[in-house]
């Protein structure tokens, strides 16, 4: 049983439950869900499912003055800090083999075990911002914080604790240019090639990645072609997806059109299918849980 964690407030609760449904549909994992507000906590506590474990951020704040001060002084940054904080909290308090942080607006189209198989015995697992050349500096970082894996090993705990500490205490200003994300640039420097998994042969999509892929085998085999290599399409990061349930429509992504022009989502039948299916799923989740 793999332990996975996510964080959201009420605004992303529908997406977070969609993530949960995608996990339990394909996998035996447990999702540990940290609620940033009381309303989302109250809603999730009504769900009777032993594969969903609910946490209230207030319980963390009661025992950590630094985290409380951060919430009061910089709420946006406080929210960013919770990915590393919550992951560290869970892995240091439990005898688990690993923890995998996943953003609440990610959806798994295939079994997440495909990722764990590729990570194998590595201590750390991260995924590339494939649109950026690793030799050219950028403020967003070379890696996306959407899915981050830590093994419960000396190296895994070392790197996770470093990330948690660096973000919480706002260390290393050169790495604080994109919330908690650019800190991941340091992970490969802290690990040998034997200790860290980077991207592998896992197909993953996001508004900043879609323009990189050949979709000629997508509809038939759920496979993309990236740099000439076939990859099973495992998950999508639906960043800045904005549903409009009243009018039965959506905006695919509010600010990432610099990478994938907005017209591409309707003209490319594969992208349209990915987003239409996600929107239908969100509507089903909304009705199922009375959100």
CB 34 within 8 A of CB 57: yes
By CB neighbour count within 10 A (0-12 exposed, 13-18 middle, 19+ buried), where does 286 fall?
A: middle
CA distances from 102 to 17, 138, 149, 181 (A): 12, 23, 9, 13
Q: What is the pLDDT of residues 240-257, one digit of tens each?
A: 999 999 999 999 987 765
pLDDT given at position 256? 62
**Could you tell me which of 223, 224, 278, 228 has the C-alpha nearest to residue 250?**
278
- Residue 50's Cα: distance from chain center in Å? 22
Residue 260 DSSP SS3: coil
pLDDT at 254: 79
Cβ atoms 34, 23 nearer than 8 A: no
Burial (CB count within 10 angstroms: exposed 0-12, middle 13-18, buried 19+), residue 242: exposed
In the chain, DSSP assigns E strands to 3-8, 30-35, 52-56, 98-102, 106-108, 124-128, 143-151, 196-198, 203-205, 223-226, 229-237, 242-244, 249-251
The number of beta carbons lying within 10 Å of the beta carbon of residue 245 is 14
Q: Is the whole-model pTM more than 0.85?
A: yes
pLDDT, position 291: 82
**Residue 137 pLDDT:** 84
User: 3-class DSSP state for residue 192?
Assistant: coil
Residues in a beta bridge with 233: 203
3-288 is a CATH 3.40.50.10070 domain = no
At residue 163, the pLDDT reads: 97
Among 224, 242, 244, smallest CA distance to 234 is for 224
Radius of gyration for the chain, computed over Cα atoms and rounded to the nearest angstrom: 18
**Cβ neighbours of residue 227 closer than 8 Å, sequence gap 6 or more:** none
Q: What is the pLDDT of residue 1?
A: 84
Show me where the domains of the chain are located. Answer: 3-288
13: enclosing H helix or E strand = helix 13-26
For 168-184, how does the pLDDT look when each residue is reduced to its tens digit (9 = 90+)?
A: 998 998 888 888 899 99
Pair type for strands 106-108 and 229-237? antiparallel
Residue 87 Cα distances to 148, 149, 152, angstroms: 9, 9, 11
Mean pLDDT by 10 residues, the chain (291 residues): 96 97 89 97 95 96 92 91 97 96 97 96 96 86 96 98 94 86 95 96 94 94 96 96 95 73 78 95 94 82
Cα–Cα–Cα angle for 225, 231, 233, nearest 5°? 100
Distance CA 147, CA 145 (A): 6
């Amino acid at each position: 049983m793999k332990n996975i964690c996510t964080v959201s407030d009420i605004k992303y609760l529908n997406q977070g439950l969609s993530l949960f449904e995608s996990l339990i549909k394909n996998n035996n994992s447990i999702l540990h869900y940290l609620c940033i507000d009381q309303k989302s906590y109250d809603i999730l506590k009504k769900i009777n499912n032993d594969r969903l474990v609910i946490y209230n951020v207030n319980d963390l704040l009661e025992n950590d003055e630094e985290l409380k001060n951060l919430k009061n002084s910089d709420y946006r940054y406080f929210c960013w800090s919770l990915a590393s904080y919550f992951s560290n909290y869970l892995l240091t308090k439990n005898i688990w083999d690993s923890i995998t942080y996943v953003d609440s607006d990610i959806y798994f189209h295939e079994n997440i075990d495909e990722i764990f198989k590729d990570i194998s015995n590595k201590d750390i697992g991260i995924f590339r911002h494939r649109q950026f050349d690793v030799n050219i500096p950028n403020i967003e970082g070379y890696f996306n914080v959407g899915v981050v894996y830590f093994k419960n090993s000396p190296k895994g705990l070392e790197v996770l604790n470093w990330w948690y500490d660096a973000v919480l205490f706002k260390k290393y200003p050169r790495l604080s240019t994109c919330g908690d994300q650019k800190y991941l640039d340091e992970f490969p420097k802290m690990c040998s090639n034997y200790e860290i998994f980077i991207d592998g042969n896992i197909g993953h999509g996001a508004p900043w990645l879609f323009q990189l892929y050949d979709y000629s085998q997508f509809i038939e085999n759920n496979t993309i072609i990236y740099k000439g290599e076939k990859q099973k399409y495992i998950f999508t990061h639906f960043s800045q997806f904005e549903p409009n349930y009243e009018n039965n429509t959506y905006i695919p992504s509010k600010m990432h059109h610099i990478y994938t022009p907005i017209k591409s989502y309707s003209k490319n039948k594969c992208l349209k299918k990915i987003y239409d299916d996600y929107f239908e799923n969100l509507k089903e989740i909304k009705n199922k849980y009375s959100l």
